[in-house]
Amino acid sequence: MENDPNNADAPVTKAGLKAEFGKFEERLDKKLDRLLSQQANVILEAVGETMEKKLDEKFDPVVTKLDGILKGVEALQQENTVGAEQLRRHEDQLQKHQVRIAKLETAPV
């Protein structure tokens, strides 16, 4: 007599049970692995969001202060550029005055 899975009156053998339990165990392992993987992903996402929030809370004040410092540095650079241009104009004007004074001093009276 053959072991027919569609026949309810067929006797169950130890080998048949082992085979069925083996298949069931494989399916169960796959489902559990998938569920554990999904659960791990959810936990990792939650941890990532928490870490991101905490980092934002820590670094936002620092970045805000650095923005203020950077604006101050940019203002000083611009002021330095304007001052250098003004200094060059004054030096050019002094050169012209020196030439005029030299001409006046050497001119016959």
- Average model confidence (pLDDT) for the chain? 92
pLDDT band at 88 (very low <50, low <70, confident <90, very high): very high
Choice between 44 and 11, residue whose per-residue pLDDT is larger: 44
Which residue matches tokens 């494989």?
26
Percent of the chain scoring above 90 in pLDDT: 79
Q: What is the 3-state secondary structure (H, E, C) of the chain?
A: CCCCCCCCCCCCCHHHHHHHHHHHHHHHHHHHHHHHHHHHHHHHHHHHHHHHHHHHHHHHHHHHHHHHHHHHHHHHHHHHHHHHHHHHHHHHHHHHHHHHHHHHHHCCC
Mean pLDDT of 41-69: 95
Rounded-to-10 torsion of CA 75, 76, 77, 82: 90
Percent of the chain scoring above 70 in pLDDT: 95
Mean pLDDT of 37-60: 96
Query: In the prediction, which pLDDT does 1 show?
Result: 45
